[in-house]
Amino acid sequence: MNIAVFVSGKGTNLQAIIDAIDSGKIKEAVISLVISDRSNAIALDRAKKAGLEAVYINPRDFSSREEFDKKAISYLEKYNIGLVVLAGFMRLLSPYFVGRYRNRIINIHPTLLPSFKGTSGIKDAWEYGVKITGPTVHFINEDLDAGPIILQKPVIIEENDTLESLEDKIHRAEHEIYPEAVKLFVEGKLSVEGRRVKIKR
């Protein structure tokens, strides 16, 4: 299956997926395309280093969210993309995009949803004082950080943790479960029934 990874930043999750494909952990997927909405994303350097097709789409070139998304979709069609993987992609997708690729767009969020949605999830969880948090991989629907949940991994907050050490732990957990979720999807092991995602193991 051809997959596309959408990025805006560091691209450590992109790297984890590249590594899982290279090592043979994920056998059924090829990263055919990386799309960034930021020209200076480190993720673009990672993509190029791995020899992947990478494009930058400048949001300023489009008058609306939907126009941007239509440009992105034109690439997805060109590369016959079966799965869109959002990996630190900082733009919301339009309902048009979500409708066109329903249950074929996945995202990773750094907290145990539905707690601590939004862009400062780890800091919010830390400041709230929770004892357990951890990343969530979920399908995208029309609402922010609210689609059906595929995988979650608990991360325990210990007495000696700091915000920085917690961030490290969460990112390490992300790099385990995101490739795992991609693998399950491309192997056809996921089915969505309402809010519930069934996993065939």
Cβ–Cβ under 8 Å, residues 155 and 173: yes
Stretch that binds ligand GRF, among 7-15, 32-40, 59-67, 185-193 (CB under 6 A): 7-15
Residue 148 binds ligand GRF, judged by CB under 6 A? no
Q: Which two tokens stand for residue 81?
A: 């993309």
- What lies within 8 Å, CB to CB, of 188 at 6+ separation is none
* Chain centroid offset of residue 112 CA: 14
Is residue 109 annotated as a catalytic residue, yes or no? yes
Residue 9 found at the interface with ligand GRF (CB under 6 A): yes
Which residue lies nearer to ligand GRF by CB, 87 or 182?
Answer: 87
Note whether 182 and 20 are within 8 A (CB).
Answer: yes
String of contacts with ligand GRF for each residue 38-77, x by CB under 6 A: -----x----------------------------------
CA-to-CA separations, 126 to 12, 32, 117, 167, 170, in angstroms, rounded: 22, 37, 13, 10, 12
Total of residues contacting ligand GRF (CB under 6 A): 14
Cis peptide before 135 (omega within 30 of 0): no
110 contacts ligand GRF (rule: CB under 6 A): yes
Of the pair 5, 186, the CB lying nearest ligand GRF is at 5
Residue type, 5: V
Q: Is 11 in the site for ligand GRF (CB under 6 A)?
A: yes
Select from 9-17, 44-52, 69-77, 147-155 the region that touches ligand GRF (CB under 6 A): 9-17
Q: Which residue ranges make up the site for ligand GRF (CB under 6 A)? A: 9-13, 43, 87-88, 108-110, 135, 171, 174
